[in-house]
Amino acid sequence: MSIDRIVMAFAGAMILASLALSFILSPWWLLLAGFVGLNLFQAAFTGFCPLALALKKLGAKSGAAF
């Protein structure tokens, strides 16, 4: 799997986890979903994604975006 797909899958999983935790525990968990969304938004314009950098160092194959 390429870095792009891993980043999208991880972001989706974090948002779903945030929604579940906000329903079960506290609405404050929605801040995690907001953080993930904001990070995806800035990565679209700047190309900087901390997860993509970590995955590249771990040897994941590059995709089109990262």
> Is residue 65 scored above 80 in pLDDT?
no
Task: Say if 39 falls within a structural domain.
Answer: yes
Is pLDDT above 90 for 66?
A: no
Q: What percent of the chain has pLDDT over 70?
A: 98
**Is 63 a member of any domain?**
no
Per-residue b or e along 25-47, where b marks 16 or more CB atoms closer than 10 Å to that residue's CB: eeeebeebbeebeebeeebeeee
Give domain status of residue 11, yes or no: yes
Residue 66 placed within a domain: no
Which tens digits make up the pLDDT trace of 22-47? Answer: 999 999 999 999 999 999 999 999 98
Domain around 49: 3-57
The answer to whether residue 64 sits within a structural domain is: no
Is residue 9 over pLDDT 80?
Answer: yes
Q: How many domains does the chain have?
A: 1
